[in-house]
Amino acid sequence: MKPQTIDPQVRHDAVMFFDVADGNPNGDPDGGNRPRVDESTGHGLVTDVAIKRKIRDTIGLAAENLGYDAGRFQVFVEAGHALNTRTAESYKATGLTLNAKKVTPEQAEAARRWMTERYVDVRLFGAVLSTGETKALGQIRGPLQFGMARSLHPVSPVSHAITRVTQTKQEDIDKGERTEMGSKWTVPYGLYRVQFHYSAAIARKTGVSSEDLSALYRTLQFMLEHDRTATRGIMTMRGLYVLSHSDAFGNAPAQSLLDRITAELVPGIDSPRQFTDYKISVDLDDLPEGITFEALQG
């Protein structure tokens, strides 16, 4: 990677493309796990929360692969671990008493710093820490913000009836039933685009390092490889493009840069069913002064 791409002291704006074939990239629990769609347009959606979950599940492994200190790449929001317990650890580590009636700003800042030094997702995404007995910690705003991923064209979710040869209940077997019905949702094909933005000004407060950004990009490139299930079908990272500025303030509005990266259907294709039905293009003519571009994938 170019040095500017992993410089935590400058602003970065980026675009990522991924696709799904015969799978459910992000089911809606309020809709029977049906793939999320914009009901007005039919475009597929994947929430920012789902994307950050994949990052959290993979970034520790990416850091290990890069040889980084595992102690700095622990994950705060992790399955099987209560958040209150982890915020309480920050109090104990910095000499504070739980439910202390008076906590000075300096004491609270020391506890927040303990959290950011330990948990990579707090450094990158921020966190609400004012829960349980640690109300004085407040909230940490994260420098890395993802939008919703949206498919470039409408998707057509399909519900498949499925059966299994065993029953859930013994009494159903006793009644002579031999199979049990179920259903499964898939998207035949969809190419999704998502933007994300990194604020160097906010990152100064959370202590983001070049190693954090290197691990993040490595994670984005490989996280779908480590998140495979039968439900999700075949999900593949198809492009990762980063535009870096020369300082924390930035050299141009983000959208004016990211609009230069487009994906269009190739001539003669009306209903895309594979990645080769698209062509991704990047317009680098007359880039604003101070902007550098790097295609990390694609």
Q: What is the pLDDT of residues 246-268, one digit of tens each?
A: 999 999 999 999 999 999 999 99
Nearest to 298 by CA among 10, 89, 14: 14
Rounded distance, CA 59 to CA 61, Å?
5
Structure confidence at residue 96 (pLDDT): 87
Residue 193 has pLDDT above 80, yes or no: yes
CA-CA-CA-CA dihedral for 128, 131, 135, 139, to nearest 10 = 0
* pLDDT tens digits along 22-78: 999 999 999 999 999 999 999 999 999 999 999 999 999 999 999 999 999 999 999
Residue 155 has pLDDT above 90, yes or no: yes
Structure confidence at residue 159 (pLDDT): 94
DSSP 19: E
* pLDDT tens digits along 208-224: 999 999 999 999 999 99
Average pLDDT, integer, range 3-20: 98
Q: How many residues does the chain have?
A: 298
Whether the CB-CB separation of 291 and 2 falls below 8 Å is answered with no
Q: Where are the domains of the chain?
A: 3-160+184-297
